[in-house]
Amino acid sequence: MLTSSPVQMAEIRFMPGRAGEQRFPAPNAATQCATCPQRAHCLPGELEPRLVRRLDELHFARRRVRAGQKVFHHGDRFAFLYAVRSGTFKASLAAPDGRELVTGFHLPGELLGLDALAAGRHASTASALEDGEVCAIPYRQLMEEVGAGGASVYHGLSRMLSREIVREHHLMLLLGGMNAEERLAAFLMNVSQRMQVRGYSSTEFNLRMSRAEIGSLLGLTVETVSRALSAFQRQGLLRVDRRHISAMDVQRLRQEYAATVQ
């Protein structure tokens, strides 16, 4: 959802010269799943090494996406799934009244477009909250891979689909049964945990999205989000400086707002 620093993140991913930060400093590293720093959290993380090599033979195209640009728009014909390679992305729906409803924020390794399989058209819109890159996975080719005996590719993908369902269950739980501060606490703990998994600090990070976008995800207004953040700061649970969160006391946050995180 957010990175402790955009510069740092870019460095880890795109400067193969920096040994120690990248485990496989192969010359052409960045274009292959096998050597992608996100592979553990991404589709290949679900596959045996043999199949990852096969996946790489598909040569996924990488696409730069500038902040604010869309990866796909709802209604677009579905041809590719997108894996976030770097940056933070926002998935959203158009509400009947025209408003935009955020359904999730996506960090490196996560897939975009899983709701498109149902109807062959994208049901949501994905856009970049900061400059980033996605890998375009041609769905048809991926399926041919399944046909050619790579049934475990299917396993990996369906597990990611299922994971998305679980993620949304948690969001529903939050929307259906928690008050404003519990929602925000759950959100922050979720971000914290996902940052940690990716090797970043769990107590200090940058929110890449606006208060309004957080509110949209959590079913709250901007003002309520802002007030809740201020309240947390007043209680000494964290420090807020614009979009930078620091000194977050995850443990106290958890016990005071007994909320499950993804």
Partner DNA sequence: CGTAAGATTGAATTAATTCAAGCTCCGTGG
Partner DNA sequence: CCACGGAGCTTGAATTAATTCAATCTTACG
Binding stretches for a copy of itself (CB under 8 A): 93, 95-97, 99, 101, 103, 114-119, 123-124, 143, 146-147, 149, 151, 154-155, 157-159, 161-166, 168-169, 171-173, 175-177, 216-219, 258-260
101 binds DNA (CB under 7 A): no
Q: In what order do the strands lie in the sheet with 70-72?
A: 70-72, 125-128, 89-94, 100-106
Residue 167 binds DNA (CB under 7 A)? no
Distance of closest approach, residue 210 Cβ to DNA, in angstroms? 3
Rounded distance, CA 195 to CA 262, Å? Answer: 13
Which residue carries 């890159």 as its tokens? 133
Span from 54-62, 70-78, 120-128, 235-243 in contact with DNA (CB under 7 A): 235-243
CB of 223 to a copy of itself, least distance (A): 16
Closest CA relative to residue 62, chosen from 94, 85, 41, 88: 85
Q: Decide if residue 219 touches DNA (CB under 7 A).
A: yes
- Tell me which of DNA, a copy of itself, none is bound by residue 224, counting a contact when its beta carbon lies within the kind-specific cut-off of 5 to 8 angstroms: DNA
Listed ranges 54-62, 136-144, 151-159, 223-231: which one lies at the site for DNA (CB under 7 A): 223-231
In sequence order, what are the beta bridge partners of 116?
none
222 binds, among DNA, a copy of itself, none (CB under 5 to 8 A by kind): DNA
- List the one residue from 221, 239, 249, 252 that touches DNA (CB under 7 A): 221
CB of 65 within 8 A of CB of 128? yes
Q: Report the nearest approach of a copy of itself to the CB of residue 2 (Å).
A: 20
128: DSSP letter:
E
Query: Which of 112-115's residues contact partners 24+ apart within 8 Å by CB, and which partners?
Result: 112/71, 112/72, 112/81, 112/82, 112/83, 112/84, 113/71, 113/72, 113/78, 113/80, 113/81, 113/82, 114/81, 114/160, 114/161, 114/164
Footprint on this chain of DNA (rule: CB under 7 A): 179-181, 210-212, 219-227, 229-230, 240, 242-243
